Structure 1
């Protein structure tokens, strides 16, 4: 009966039951916040009747069922948030006239079908999150030229599409995650022109081709995760220019050649994973990467000796150099890694004895030195016992 009501906020309580049908009579509502309660039932078609809505938030519910087609009549909607429910079936938008849409969050449901094609038809979309659903099909066409984008998370679906054709240049974009889908093709040089991009995560897809040199121009990049794809060729030395890079994961691809020599200039690097490739040559000198706490170069074709400089990584917690062609003795300097928890040097051609300095590795909980040519005494420490 509150015919003049424009804003309704009942969030973060312990409300139970279903939303009354009479909410559809509140014709002047612009904002509805009912998130973080214990409401349940099917998602009401009546919300589609409230065409004045600009802000809808119904997250953290036990809603089930589908989003009705009449939701597409919400032409004034700016913030659309239905995440972490149990909504399923197709999202069917009757009109798709979301010309005012800035945020669209539907992650953590059980949606199937295709993502709405015109989600950025108004050119205002900033945040788009639909991860952890069952979406299929290609990327919405309106995303390619959606220069307003700031944050996108579509990971954990079954989306397909050519990476070189589905995305454009996004001057405001800071975060993009597309992991665990079925995307293919080569990465476009356009990513290098996303000057505010801080995180790019596209692991566990079918991306192929070479890594574009232009990626080194994304000067604000902090996290680059391209694990478990089919990217080949050399790792571009241009990545060594990314001075803010914290995490680099290129494992599980087909990279060959040597690790770029200038990676030692990545002084902020904390995690480097290049495992399961076809890299050859020496383990790179990473002496200036003082902040490293994860270094994984396993299952490659790296040869010669373990660099003494690794002993300078005072924050290193995980070191994996297994399944290479390393030879010579294990450096005593590894005993200086006081924070080291996991060490794997197995499946190499290391010789000599286990360094006595390993007695100082008090944080070590897991060690694997098998399949080498070691001899002598075993240290009397927690990890070995």
Structure 2
């Protein structure tokens, strides 16, 4: 017996055990496998093991392993205590793993999950879900450590497509977390979701769920976080949902299609810290019971069609840091209690019908970083106490009826990044203290009654968006703006500014849009404009600018709109303008431009409007103009153009608002191809030297009327001069 046992090495026994522990057999079968292998070696008779059936208890199998270990100890002279401990740990670990796998793979939880997987489309993310693996090792599944029950299902952003009706929620009595956010799950939320009695976290956001919020959600009495935002939910919010949610802290239902009133029972959710219901169709009044939610940190109701006052009870929410109620149909004054919410960091009441003035008590909200009151009916002046809001980085008071001056104290809010005051009736000069706002990236002062000169702004070099359009500003552009290389959009149109434009402006490599129209700038356009490579729009109309159009503008490959109308520009139109592939609006009218029309303009395949009228351009109309097939408006009137009208003009079948070739020296007959311009609404060929008769094809120009066509003052047969 001793020699027989001594011939069995420890490594052989380990190999036999490990081979059996692949978890592909039931536990009893695995032990039988080991026993039969050892029986062939004549070992099992010494430890009294008999093959166990699948119905026998695991205790027999563990007893067998224990005897086997003792046998190994007897056969290995050098077997140490440490080796024994290691062997026991390995063997029992493998036993437990296989018992768990065999048990779990047949559990109701596993069966329910696999059934749901089978109903889904594109479930590659769930490839690990198989009976060959314990569900506790499946993607997105977490089990507890004692009972090996599923406690979490976390499958956000897994590309899942399908419905929830095949998921048996009643099979998961231990689940506390369910996260299926950012998938493509559609259909309704099944009512049996209420069976998840231990659920504390539910996130179904950003899917395509429809239908109503099922009432059995009220059974989730332990729920702490509820997020079903960004779906297609409809119907009203049932007040009974709020009766049992005493622990809930976080609710997000925004971006759905919920209707009806917000139930007053929401005041029962006294542990609520976050409530977002924005962009639904909830109407009626904002319930005053919201004032009972003393733990509320954030309240977001944006974009719902309430017809309401702001409840004064909101002033009780002393922990509130964000109050966001834009576009809610709010009217009346802002309750004075709101100015007691000293923890507020965001206050957004924009796009409502709020009246009254901004009180000086706004200065109490020293923690504010964002204040939006835009798009209301607020009147009065901007209080100097705004200067106390030292943490403010965004202030938007645009689109109101504010009057009076900009308080110089506003220059104390040195952290401001965005300042919007446009669309009011603010008067006086722009205070020099605005120059202290060195972190400004956007300064919007347009459409007011501001006067005086521009202060030294953009001293910090951060300003990207600046508009003071439609005011009464005078003087020159300050030097600080010349060096403001971060500028992207720059609007000073409709003022009374003056100065030499070539000296007032620098090179702005990030500039996208500039409008200096309707001012008194003079001088010449700098070739440096060609270095503003990101420009898409240049508008410098109605000034006193002279000189030539720099050909470097033809390097601006992103340019879409170019307007130099009503200046004193002279010389030829640069042929380089024909190299602007995105240009759709070119207006050089009312200048002193001369020379020939460059044929290169025919390369402007995206051109929709071309106005070169009221210049001194001579020579023929190039036939290449017929290549600009997207043209809707063509004005070449009041020049010295001669020759005949090229028949290729008939290719411009998109022409709609106007074709004006009047007040030139055009001769010859009217080409019959013009009859193809069926969309054209106005045609003026008057005051030329055209001869012959009006083509019969004009009958095809169905958009013209007798009052919208003018061919007078020509030598046409049958026409009157």
Q: Report TM bin, short chain.
A: over 0.9
Counterpart for residue 337 of structure 1: 677
Counterpart for residue 489 of structure 2: 151
Candidates 108, 130, 134, aligned match of 2:468: 130
Counterpart for residue 47 of structure 1: 386
* Residue 243, structure 1, aligned to residue 614, structure 2: no
The whole-number CA distance in structure 2 between the counterparts of 1:339 and 1:13 is 42
Following superposition of structure 1 onto structure 2, how do residues 1-385 of structure 1 map, counting pairs within 5 Å? 1-94=340-433, 96-117=435-456, 119-285=457-623, 286-317=625-656, 318-365=658-705, 366-376=708-718
Q: Shift of the alpha carbon at 1:299?
A: 0.4
Tell me the C-alpha RMSD between the 2 structures.
1.3
Whether the 8 Å CA contact 2:637–2:663 is kept in 1: the answer is yes
Q: Shift of the alpha carbon at 1:95?
A: 6.2
Counterpart for residue 382 of structure 1: none
Whether the 8 Å CA contact 1:240–1:262 is kept in 2: the answer is yes
The whole-number CA distance in structure 2 between the counterparts of 1:155 and 1:284 is 34
The whole-number CA distance in structure 1 between the counterparts of 2:399 and 2:464 is 22
Residues 341/331 of structure 1: CA separation in 2 closer, same or farther (3 Å cut) = same
Residues 346/78 of structure 1: CA separation in 2 closer, same or farther (3 Å cut) = same
The whole-number CA distance in structure 2 between the counterparts of 1:90 and 1:194 is 31
The whole-number CA distance in structure 2 between the counterparts of 1:275 and 1:377 is 25
**1:336-361 per-position Cα deviation (integer Å, ceiling 9, x unaligned):** 10111110001101111111111111
Residues 190/203 of structure 1: CA separation in 2 closer, same or farther (3 Å cut) = same
Q: Shift of the alpha carbon at 1:99?
A: 1.1
**1:133-179 per-position Cα deviation (integer Å, ceiling 9, x unaligned):** 11111112112121111111111111112111111221211111111
Q: Shift of the alpha carbon at 1:116?
A: 2.1
- Considering fraction of residues, name the structure with more helix: 2
Residues 123/377 of structure 1: CA separation in 2 closer, same or farther (3 Å cut) = closer
Whether the 8 Å CA contact 1:115–1:135 is kept in 2: the answer is yes
The whole-number CA distance in structure 2 between the counterparts of 1:219 and 1:192 is 10
Counterpart for residue 381 of structure 1: none
Aligned partner of residue 227 in structure 1, secondary structure: coil
Aligned partner of residue 164 in structure 1, secondary structure: helix
**1:170-196 per-position Cα deviation (integer Å, ceiling 9, x unaligned):** 121111111101111000111111111
The whole-number CA distance in structure 1 between the counterparts of 2:629 and 2:374 is 44
The whole-number CA distance in structure 1 between the counterparts of 2:492 and 2:610 is 24
Whether the 8 Å CA contact 1:120–1:143 is kept in 2: the answer is yes
Structure 1 stretches (4+) deviating beyond 6 angstroms?
none
Worse overlay, 21-30 or 274-283: 21-30
Q: Quick check: which has more Rg, 1 or 2?
A: 2
**Structure 1: runs of 5 or more not aligned:** 379-385
Q: Shift of the alpha carbon at 1:316?
A: 0.6
Whether the 8 Å CA contact 1:68–1:93 is kept in 2: the answer is no
The whole-number CA distance in structure 2 between the counterparts of 1:97 and 1:343 is 56
TM-score normalized by structure 1? 0.95
Q: Shift of the alpha carbon at 1:130?
A: 1.1
The whole-number CA distance in structure 2 between the counterparts of 1:351 and 1:104 is 58
**1:15-38 per-position Cα deviation (integer Å, ceiling 9, x unaligned):** 111112100122222111111111
The whole-number CA distance in structure 1 between the counterparts of 2:586 and 2:395 is 37
Q: Shift of the alpha carbon at 1:326?
A: 0.5
The whole-number CA distance in structure 1 between the counterparts of 2:433 and 2:380 is 22
The whole-number CA distance in structure 2 between the counterparts of 1:259 and 1:369 is 23
Aligned partner of residue 530 in structure 2, secondary structure: helix
Aligned partner of residue 353 in structure 2, secondary structure: coil
Aligned partner of residue 378 in structure 2, secondary structure: strand
Q: Shift of the alpha carbon at 1:41?
A: 0.8
The whole-number CA distance in structure 2 between the counterparts of 1:276 and 1:320 is 11
**Structure 2: runs of 5 or more not aligned:** 1-339
The whole-number CA distance in structure 1 between the counterparts of 2:433 and 2:610 is 47
Whether the 8 Å CA contact 1:70–1:93 is kept in 2: the answer is no
Aligned partner of residue 634 in structure 2, secondary structure: strand
TM-score normalized by structure 2? 0.51
Residues 197/100 of structure 1: CA separation in 2 closer, same or farther (3 Å cut) = same
- Considering fraction of residues, name the structure with more strand: 1
